[in-house]
Chain A
Amino acid sequence: MASIKVPEQKVILCGEYGVGKSSLFRRYAYDTFISSSSRKSTLGLDNFNKEYKVDDRSIQMQLWDTGGMERVASITSSYYKFAEAAILVFSLDNAASFHVLSQHLLEIVTYAENAKIFLCGNKSDLEGTTPQVTEADMENFCEQCHNLISSTYKTSCKTGEGVEEMFADIGRQLILSNRSRLELQTMGAGGIGTDSFKLGGRGSEEGEVAEPPCLC
């Protein structure tokens, strides 16, 4: 049966051990939360696909979770490779897990240079009245890294609060940022009997020669 291929977007989870990456994964994939009595550390790789729709556009969001594999560059780079989005996860009740994020950020910009980056404070149910990481801290972090962070979220995998909203929002942003690319593909396929769209072929209708990109 022929079906229109929905574009796949790889989304990776990054963050310290025990901040709840797998719990986010599990909430996203199965809408469940596993209490500490049967939780296990993640060894290796896990992934799960889910379709998101905005208007008439769909994408397959492919979420990747990892644990214990990231110690060497060759494995790290293949985990990050082709990621369209990366979620930096930390635990709101653990300041250390927040302060270490700049390292993960560095890896993302090194190995997945085109990925949109999101910041997620998990375990909001444990935040309490004197939070270990405040919203001001999160804002400062975003400023310090030159606004590389597209959005910030607070989630609780335990209660489910904010999780679906976060993934829906990330899905929406991915669709929007892909819209122009998708439209180019559609034009290319529908218009001139070829499925490749050549830059500069039809684009310069006014006869202009495209200027070389500025390198400043």
Chain B
Amino acid sequence: MNTDDLQQKNARLVRNLVLVVVAMFGFGFALVPLYDVLCDITGLNGKVAATAAKEVVYPIDNSREVTVEFITSLNESAPMLFRPETKKLIIHPGEYYTVNFYAENLTDKPMVAQAIPSISPGLAAEYFKKTECFCFTEQTFKPHEGRTMPVRFVVNPDLPKQYKTITLAYTFFDNTKTQ
């Protein structure tokens, strides 16, 4: 093969391979929305809707009891106090309940914080509906302000039979710096 031909062939091949590289770099980023869509559809990973659910009337299943546990934690030791006022509740699917959480800013400065919910087992997440939650928006705290915040929720009676305990965990992230 003469040299010019070979150079042309190499150039064409290299160009195509570089395109593959660029495409795969893009694919890495495309995984981000793909992952979110997949988690939204399936409710995997305990990811729950970040917006309020409509208040729908469900038939109340009084024959069934589900334990709902509430846990709180702070991300990277955010300077806050954060606790559930109710630790555990035995509920009937279909009935609406309200529980309170208490959070306090321990610093001398105003604070912006965001609570992130997670539900375990993850597959129960899509049956757990919140109509009111402090986690839907960022919360602003004045210096040393403490506040009681309600969460109103219902467990859809379609919840599969094997789920007897659902844990709702909140983590508060201190977002003050990123504002």
Are A and B interaction partners?
A: no
